[in-house]
Amino acid sequence: MDRRDFLKNTVAGGVGLGMLGAAGGAQAAQGPAPGGKVPRRQLGATGADVPILLMGGTQKFDDRYDKTLHRAFELGVDYIDTAREYAQGQAQKTIGTFMKQVGDRKKMWVTSKATLVGADATPEGFRTGVDQCLEGLETDYLDMFFMHMITDERLFGPDFIRTSEELKKAGKIRFFGFSCHDGNSAELMAAAAKMGGGVDAIMFRYNFREYGDVALNKAIDACKAAGIGLIAMKTQASVPADLDAVVEFRSQDFTLGQAKLKAVWADERIDAAVSAMTNVNLVTENTAAAMSPVKLSMNEFMQLNRLAALTAHAHCLGCKQRCEPRANGLRIADTLRYLMYHECYGETDEARALYRALPRKARDFKAIDLSEATAACPQGIRIAERLAQARHVLTA
């Protein structure tokens, strides 16, 4: 067993104390200190503080007693992020059960989201989305409502801000914002910052692969200056496990997963990072990293940079504005995201369902010349090859 495996197994098993160098490092590797809580930061100009680590609620939890949610809550992760659509509505339902078990709504922060597209992308659809989230969670109010996965700034335009103010006055939501995964995130964030109010927080893709993105950094600066809370998602920037291992990440203090989170928290413009913690071991690992006072060393940052460079060809950044205009209607970024769900998260059924739901024109690449799209890809992804892999595993 090498040192890296040893650190990982130590986290998973909660053993092996005192053998790992500096005290802070040993603490991070073995788990959170007894009685410790995840530190908190102010969420933009909301006046609220939130833990720097947030519980991602994409899955259906155990609706009898979910150990993962309860353990995270005990350790200070009292913010849960979910959405109307997650697990076909089951995620909200099981989080509702957990909220009842906690017993005091005010001790928790619950964010939910709804994807508004087509005829639903109206203020009325917004109101309906909020009501459906409240009903799904069986609660009276949301601490935050996010327009989910938006690509159109109209969804935080004057009509929607007016509606959000009405919903706030009615006590249905406390704060309003949006989440954005793909393509034009930097533009959307810059536009929200320019409005000078109305958007309380934004959740966006941010990880060690994106440090050098100039437009994104400018948008982050602008949001920070405008008092918009910033929540990072997709912090692990996943590639399949064998590729993640190419760098043989070595650290006295952190596992690779912990280091990726620390890299995000090292950026003080970011208020919190959301993580879909699917088991208690992951809660132990992530909360330990959040509580550790040890900062990432230059050497650890360099290893992450190297990992980003060596695995770029297997990680789609979602910048679809670069490739898709050259791909005759293909939905390349969505397809590669679904492939990632299968390859990295093992969520094959979900990935297949999403892939099947794409219109045929959006996934049938056989007669399309993808050379220009491939040349435009900053990650050097061999697009035709990856789309073929996606078709192979997601239509089986």
Residues that bind ligand SF4 (CB under 6 A): 316-320, 322-323, 332-333, 336, 376-377, 379, 381, 383
* Residue 94 vs residues 66, 137, 138: alpha-carbon distances, Å: 9, 8, 10
Closer of 232 and 319 to ligand SF4 (Cβ): 319
Nearer of residues 291 and 383 to ligand SF4, judged by Cβ:
383
- Cα dihedral 186, 213, 343, 363, rounded to 10, equals 50
Q: Which is nearer to ligand SF4, 76 or 318 (CB)?
A: 318
Q: Compute how many other C-beta atoms are within 10 angstroms of the C-beta atom of residue 344.
A: 18
Residue 232 vs 333, nearer CB to ligand SF4? 333
Would you tell me how many other CB atoms lie within 10 Å of the CB of residue 239? Answer: 23
Cα–Cα distance for residue pair 93/253, rounded to 1 Å: 38
Least Å distance, CB 181 to ligand SF4, is: 11
How far apart are CB 147 and ligand SF4 at their closest, in Å?
21
Nearest approach in angstroms of CB 166 to ligand SF4 is 37
Shorter beta-carbon distance to ligand SF4: residue 142 or 319: 319
Sign of CA dihedral 265, 271, 274, 280: positive
- Residue number with CB closer to ligand SF4 (72 or 333): 333
- Output the CA torsion sign for 305, 309, 313, 317: positive
Residue 341, CA distances (Å) to 128, 133, 333, 372 in order: 29, 24, 12, 26
Q: Which two tokens stand for residue 270?
A: 């970011």
CB of 371 to ligand SF4, least distance (A): 13
* Least distance (Å) between residue 246 CB and ligand SF4: 19
Q: How far is CA 379 from the centre of its chain?
A: 20
Cα 337 from Cα 334, distance rounded (Å): 5
Please state the closest distance from residue 152 (CB atom) to ligand SF4, in A: 18
